[in-house]
Structure 1
Amino acid sequence: MSRKIKLLWDFRGEDAKETAKHHTIHLKEFAELEKLNFHEIDIIEQNPMLCAAFITVDEKDMKIYRDALKPQRGEIA
């Protein structure tokens, strides 16, 4: 069974949540345009001033996403 990797983009400030939500739209568009698989796209709200958009992908596809989209960090999901 392949590992899953969560790639994350952090957004800070008063509009962090709305910006993160908007970023998820672009993550989904990219995956569909490139015909790449993903498991989940969503946001994590740490607090009202810090949110992260993320996409969870199979480890085999991680480099494609990483190189094209430049996430700020990643973790094993």
Structure 2
Amino acid sequence: MEKERKLKLIWDFKGPDAATTARHHAVHLQEYRKTRNLSLDHCGSEKIGDAHAIAYLVVTEKEMPEVRDQLKPHRGQLFEK
């Protein structure tokens, strides 16, 4: 049986407050994940550079269309960890 792929949905934030904004956005992503009973418990934020940070939510391929349409991430990529 093939394992379902995991996708990392990403929201980009730029500017001097990017890291703070990304952390705050990640709190809301965690709340969304809990209320929707998503199967994966993996979301957070990462500082990419001085003026660039991301918030992310990892979902299964099956969950992705609904989450994408509701939350409008800026981009996505395969999650491999």
TM range, normalised to the smaller chain?
A: over 0.9
* Structure 2: segments with no counterpart, 5+ residues: none
Runs of 4+ in 1 over 6 A off after TM superposition: none
Question: Scaled by the length of structure 1, what TM-score is found?
Answer: 0.93
* Structure 1: segments with no counterpart, 5+ residues: none
**Residue 76 (structure 1) aligns with:** 78
CA RMSD of aligned residues (A): 0.9
Corresponding letter in the other structure for 2:24 = H
SS across alignment from 2:63: helix
Once residues 12 and 40 of structure 2 are traced to their aligned partners in structure 1, the CA distance between those partners, rounded to angstroms, is 19
Once residues 14 and 6 of structure 2 are traced to their aligned partners in structure 1, the CA distance between those partners, rounded to angstroms, is 26
* Equivalent residue runs for 1:19-34 within 5 Å: 19-34=21-36
Question: Scaled by the length of structure 2, what TM-score is found?
Answer: 0.89
Once residues 5 and 39 of structure 1 are traced to their aligned partners in structure 2, the CA distance between those partners, rounded to angstroms, is 12
Once residues 39 and 64 of structure 1 are traced to their aligned partners in structure 2, the CA distance between those partners, rounded to angstroms, is 17
